[in-house]
Amino acid sequence: MLLPPQKAYALIKQKTKEAILKLPLLKPFTFERPVRLRVELVERGILPLQYSKPYMKIIDGRTYEVEGSSMEEALFRL
């Protein structure tokens, strides 16, 4: 369903005001540290080379995990 531009603008404005009023109630999402991410691939035998990622732990032929002191570091290590 497409709204006419004027109704769409009014709805966006209304929902923006509602979101701003709820802002003080929101708390940031945090992760326990260290952060551990596990990747399960569809096929076996295509894991990254372990010598290129010494921080990688191989679980089985298609699953590995990495760990980082923060979410950013763990994602970078993937």
Q: Residues 11, 16, 17, 21: is their CA dihedral positive or negative?
A: positive
Tens of pLDDT along the chain (78 residues)? 789 999 999 999 999 999 999 999 999 888 899 999 998 988 777 787 777 788 899 888 889 899 999 999 999 998
CB–CB of 48/74 below 8 Å?
Answer: no
- Rounded Cα–Cα distance for residues 66 and 45 (Å): 18
Q: Whole-model pTM?
A: 0.60
